[in-house]
Amino acid sequence: EESLQMWDLNKRLEAYLARVKFLEEENEVLRAEIQSTKSSPAGDSWRTKYEEELRALRDALDHAFREKHTAELARDNLYEEVQQVKSRCQKEKAAREEAKKQLSLSRKELEEERRAQIWLKERAVQLEKEVEALLEVHEEEKAGLDQEIASFSHSLESFRCAPVVFQPVEVEDYSKRLSEIWKGAVETYKTEVSQLEGSLCQAKENLWKAVEDNQQSQLQLQRLEKDLVGLKAQKEMLEESLAQQWQEQRGEAEKFQLAMEALEQEQQSLRAQIARVLEDRQQLMHLKMSLSLEVATYRTLLEAESTRLQMPAG
């Protein structure tokens, strides 16, 4: 039984020694490969290539951040321009409202001037009618006076016997009074007509002024409408360019995000590979230590067994 156990132990020892030798050889090969990869130009080239790619990606990331910063500045500038355009639109709108108010006031003044002109025309027609009536009354009075003078002349012819004694004082006084009344009526008519003509000229001037103000306000309103249309078009163009820049910036950000994710994945994969290599190396070291311990134990056992076997013989 002891010889069988020794034979089994010898077989196991041979297997363990072969395994240890194989693992040592593999460890040496791996160590040589690691040293060769560290010292070989291919490894350096791979490392330099990786560093160059990483540097290029970092430069691209810095360039993307710079472009993002410039895009943000352009966005802020566009926002300021949009705010300025909005303020100008509000100013134009206020000016337009003011022009509309002035236009409504000028229209009201024009309506008032038209009403005043109509009233003046009606007043002029009424005064003409009154003058015609006064003329008719004057003609009637004149005809009556002519008749009285004719009758008085007939009565004078009937009293030829005393032509010197009779003096037609009352008739002359009456005629003078009528002529003075007629002159006063004519003067009042002339003054009223001159006043009406002056007021009519003033109304015409006010009417022309109102028409000119209306035309100017309409021209100003048209200019403001044109400016408003241009500002609206400029605002639409700025909004389109801002949206396009936002889309471009978003696409570039997505591209850089994808590149960063790819780099992170590659970094994680490299870390996992390095961790696996280190774990394999640590496992090999543990296995080597355990095998060396087993070899030492078997060596002590063999030495003890050899001494035990040699003692009876001695």
The pLDDT tens digits of the residues spanning 174-210 come to 667 777 777 777 787 778 777 777 877 887 787 788 7
Q: Would you call 24 helix, strand, or coil by DSSP?
A: helix
Instruction: State how far Cα 214 lies from the chain centre.
Output: 33
Could you list the residue range(s) of the whole structural domain that residue 115 is in? Answer: 16-37+47-157+174-306
High-pLDDT (> 90) share of the chain, %: 0
- Asked, for residue 8, whether it belongs to a domain, the answer is no
Q: Please indicate, yes or no, if residue 10 is contained in any of the structural domains.
A: no
Contacts of 141 (CB under 8 A, 6+ apart): 178
Which pLDDT band holds residue 161 (cuts at 50, 70, 90)?
A: very low
Dmax (CA) of the chain: 226
What pLDDT, on a 0 to 100 scale, did the predictor assign at position 158?
56
For residue 166, what pLDDT band results from cuts at 50, 70 and 90? very low
Q: Is 217 exposed, middle or buried (0-12, 13-18, 19+ CB in 10 A)?
A: buried
The most confident of the ranges 59-63, 113-117, 213-217 is 59-63
pLDDT at 159 over 50: no
Contact, 201 vs 120, CB < 8 A? Answer: no
Tokens of 46: 């791979």
Q: Indicate whether 233 belongs to any domain.
A: yes
Query: How many domains does one find in the chain?
Result: 1
Domain for residue 23, yes or no? yes
Average pLDDT over residues 235-263: 84
Residue 172 predicted with pLDDT over 70: no
Return mean pLDDT, the chain.
Answer: 79
Q: Does the model's pTM come out above 0.75?
A: no
Q: Does residue 258 fall inside a structural domain? A: yes
Which tokens sit at 176? 């003078």
**Using CA atoms, how far apart are residues 94 and 101, in angstroms rounded to an integer?**
10
Residues 37-49: tens digit of each pLDDT:
777 665 556 667 7
160: part of which helix (H) or strand (E)? none
Is 96 domain-assigned?
A: yes
Place of tokens 């040293």: 35
In this structure, is residue 79 part of a structural domain? yes
Cα(97)–Cα(118) distance, integer angstroms: 31
Q: Is residue 217 part of a domain?
A: yes
